[in-house]
Amino acid sequence: MKYILGGGLIGLIARDILGPSYKLIPMGRSLYYSWNPPLADNHIIKGEDIDEYIAQYATIPLYIKHAFTLGGHLTNDMTLLPDWLNKMHDNKPQPHCEIYYKSHLEYWAMGDCHKIYKSLQSKYKNEIADGISNGNAKAIDWRNHIIKTDKQSFQYDNLLSTIPLDALIAMAGINVHLSACDTWYYHVETPYLGFEGNYGVLVVDKSLPDIFKAIKISDNNYIFMANRQLKLPGAFFHLFIKDFRLIAETSVPRSIPCGLIQEITEFTDGGIKTIGSTASWDSCQDVGTCIKRLLKMRNG
């Protein structure tokens, strides 16, 4: 039997692409797209390999661009990229991040990830319910290809994990250390911010030591991302926004993978593959990249 571990966006897309030979083992909800507005970029970067698949969920392309902010001014100066990556990753960026972001600051995108997630939840609701009825996955015996839940144990031939890698490692009883940063999210409503046509602003300013990114999610609505909790968020935002409303604050622990991507031989030997940013411990594995890899899996 083949199984998909996880019930977030990537897990459901995996089921959608790989077909009914893969059975779902849901584990919680999407870390990012169960929220409205979602906590991550709410679009999929276009690409020749994936456009046909995405077209069933979205048809209108979006032009997305980012700029750096330094000293209160927006700039496209790419020499600031290393400083921004160090800020985002607490001085532990993954080696390939600079190459990735050099080509991913402006691009065409499609889709609404939150809506796609809800659509797939509805489409596979019976399979999700069946997976939940089998119990909560508690442990993986990778040597013998066995998944253990709080109700039963069952054999697998192939296991595709979309859950955070540190959770998978704990379930498999493997001793591997993974470096990561937390992300704190602040939803701010204000008419007094201007991104000059940019979707996202990459914050390099040392005067804003914890904020590393802000995105515009709709007119007058923004999400600010920080790698530490702001002690006094109201006072902090008053430093550079004349008037605003702080709508929500939340966090996702260990959401930014840092350091080297580690090859875990136990998973290779145990018939386990991973896909997704935190699932593969690859901070550059966006939704479009995951779809491309899933299509490659399906097509052999």
Domain span including residue 202? 64-110+180-259
Number of domains in the chain: 2
Share of the chain above pLDDT 70, in %: 100
Q: Give mean pLDDT, residues 199-227.
A: 94
Quick: pLDDT tens for 220-252: 999 999 999 999 999 999 988 999 999 999 999
Quick: pLDDT tens for 97-155: 999 999 999 999 998 999 999 999 999 999 999 999 988 999 999 999 999 999 999 99
pLDDT at 28 over 90: no
Phi, psi torsion values for 217, nearest 5 degrees = -100, -20
CATH at residue 239: 3.30.9
Half-sphere exposure of 4 (CA within 13 A, CB side): 27
Quick: pLDDT tens for 29-55: 898 999 889 999 999 999 999 999 999
pLDDT at 71 (0 to 100): 85
> Do both 209 and 251 map to the same domain?
yes
- H or E element, residue 221: strand 221-226
CB 227 within 8 A of CB 88: yes
pLDDT at 125 (0 to 100): 96
Q: Give mean pLDDT, residues 197-210.
A: 91
Question: Quick one: pLDDT band at residue 285, thresholds 50, 70, 90?
Answer: very high
> Do both 128 and 43 map to the same domain?
yes
> Do both 51 and 128 map to the same domain?
yes
CB 215 within 8 A of CB 160: no
> Do both 280 and 171 map to the same domain?
yes
pLDDT at 60 (0 to 100): 87
> Do both 76 and 53 map to the same domain?
no
> Do both 55 and 124 map to the same domain?
yes
pLDDT at 83 over 90: yes
> Do both 103 and 127 map to the same domain?
no
Q: How far apart are CA 232 and CA 234, in angstroms?
A: 6
> Do both 125 and 251 map to the same domain?
no
* pTM greater than the 0.85 cutoff: yes
